[in-house]
Structure 1
Amino acid sequence: MMPTLTASGIEPLFRLLGRYMPLEEADRRALGTLETGPVCLAEARSDIAHEGDNPTVIRLLISGWACRYKDLPDGRRQIVGFFLPGDFCDLNIYILSELDHSIGALTAVRYYEIQPRQFQEVIDQRPHLLRALLWHEMVSAGIQREWLLSIGQRSPLERLAHLFVELYCRLKAVGLATGTGFDLPITQNHLAEANGLSLVHLNRTIQEMRREGLIELSERQLRIVDLDRLKRVAMFNDNYLHFNR
């Protein structure tokens, strides 16, 4: 008999989906029936999936940080999305015959692999769960639009401020932010690749945020000193996250 999702594996996902619409205990139990193989492990700076792969499973991240990225033949890379605990690494990816991006582990990560057919059978029986998952996919698309706006129009200070507030909101939604602080286990190089900045420019921007009393960053811990000011700097509007449903 195949193992199923554990309570600890379900909790971040259930908290996240519950931000979009009320879910019942039966929805949690339905998620708990999803069969998986053993928990998969990936080391930091390793790939979970490569562009060109034939995707056959749905991956649910349960710990660590991963990313979606695109790269060029000369090695330049753009991170186009962060995956946090409770996130599916592309929920509907299995409908593709070929993966058009890569998924990389930024830190050591743990994740489940779920078979699409069984996943579909479970959500077909739980309409509230299906609608919450559709909201989750809409939010993912909204995040992509905000990132595109940041790269195209926001200044380096504005785009980094926006990313920090967004990460805080997403981590808070799954219980991984305390007060206005959270673990930021990724490197400055990762932040530069996500914001379209050189490493030098990224470092200067972080120093500016520190001087302005907006953040404190030490030993992979980020504390937002003044959340309202940081939101104003970023011109942050949380409507695209739909957490107030």
Structure 2
Amino acid sequence: MPLHLIRKLESFTRLSVLDRQALESITVEKQRRLGAREDIICEGDRPSHINLILDGWACRYKQLEDGRRQIISFFLPGDLCDSHVYVLQAMDHSIGTLTPVTFAEMSRESLIQITNRQPRIMQALWWDTLVSASIQREWTVNLGQRSATERVGHLLCELFVRLRTVGLTEGDGCLLPVTQADLADAMGLSTVHINRTLQELRGAGLIVLKGRHLTVPDLKALQVASLFNPNYLHLDHVGRHLDAGAVAES
């Protein structure tokens, strides 16, 4: 069930019972599960449906001929791997799993049907698309201007806030099921530099990393140290307040 997607979209607007039922109906059509380190879709493939991550972590990446990889974004539960990807003739990047992943394959026809019938869902999906573009802009700033410590701290802040939005944090902690090599490929750093940077963040008391679990004892302090401003995630719930009177029937 698309619980995490619903929670995320409700950061923009309050979905009605009918809206939730419509989303649930298309995500039970076809579900697949892949193990860790497998491709959901590869560069050059023709996309025929939209993938929704239900459980697990995935990433968007580009790989050079010599094997070097750049992770362009992380996909968390509730994330759509591009709601308009079917417009492309061929994929210009790959999407791969980082952990075992369960995902729903949503057909173009089903999505068009529900967005035509449920305009609130259409608006929320456009919001999601714009937020994804905003995140990419912030990653560009991260890679181009922030120091290594700021860069890694900023990413950890982003992931924690995104996970909290969909209900996947517990207090000041969350799962972080990625390797240092994954972080290096996302941040444009070597694994040695990532290891040293994580040690610096630990030493400053800004994070606690135990296995696959991240604890952020003082999120505000990590945000300040990383020059993190969450405004680019657009999670201020303005849409929910504006829409409150219009959804009394829900």
The two structures share one fold, judged by TM-score above 0.5: yes
Structure 1 segments, 4+ long, off by >3 Å, are 35-38
- The superposition leaves residues 148-182 of structure 1 with CA deviations (integer Å, 9 ceiling, x where unpaired) of 00000000000111000100110001100111210
Aligned-residue offset at 1:117:
1.0
Of 108, 131, 152, 2:100 maps to: 108
1:97 aligned partner, one-letter code: Q
Aligned-residue offset at 1:233:
1.0
Gaps of 5+ in 1: 1-8
Structure number with higher relative contact order (C-alpha < 8 Å, ≥ 6 residues apart): 2
Of 54, 60, 64, 1:68 maps to: 60
Q: What is the TM-score when the length of structure 1 is the normalising length?
A: 0.95
Aligned-residue offset at 1:36:
4.7
User: Could you tell me how far apart the structure 2 residues matched to 1:235 and 1:70 are?
Assistant: 27
1:174 aligned partner, one-letter code: V
Aligned-residue offset at 1:35:
6.0
2:203 aligned partner, one-letter code: R
User: Could you tell me how far apart the structure 2 residues matched to 1:196 and 1:223 are?
Assistant: 24
Instruction: Map 1:37-56 onto structure 2 (within 5 A).
Output: 37-56=29-48
CA contact (8 A) 2:26 2:106 kept: yes
User: How many residues are aligned here?
Assistant: 237
Of 12, 17, 22, 1:20 maps to: 12
Q: Which secondary structure does the structure 1 equivalent of 2:26 belong to?
A: coil
1:150 aligns with 2:139: no
CA contact (8 A) 2:27 2:104 kept: no
Instruction: Map 1:155-170 onto structure 2 (within 5 A).
Output: 155-170=147-162
CA contact (8 A) 1:36 1:115 kept: no
Q: Which secondary structure does the structure 2 equivalent of 1:33 belong to?
A: helix
User: Could you tell me how far apart the structure 2 residues matched to 1:87 and 1:61 are?
Assistant: 6
CA contact (8 A) 1:84 1:171 kept: yes
Query: What's the % identity of the aligned pairs?
Result: 48
2:6 aligned partner, one-letter code: F
1:237: which partner in 2?
Answer: 229
Of 148, 166, 169, 1:177 maps to: 169
Of 161, 186, 195, 1:194 maps to: 186
Aligned-residue offset at 1:215:
0.3
Change (3 A) 1:35 1:148: closer
CA contact (8 A) 2:32 2:104 kept: yes
Gaps of 5+ in 2: 239-250
Q: What is the TM-score when the length of structure 2 is the normalising length?
A: 0.93
Aligned-residue offset at 1:120:
0.5
Change (3 A) 1:27 1:76: same
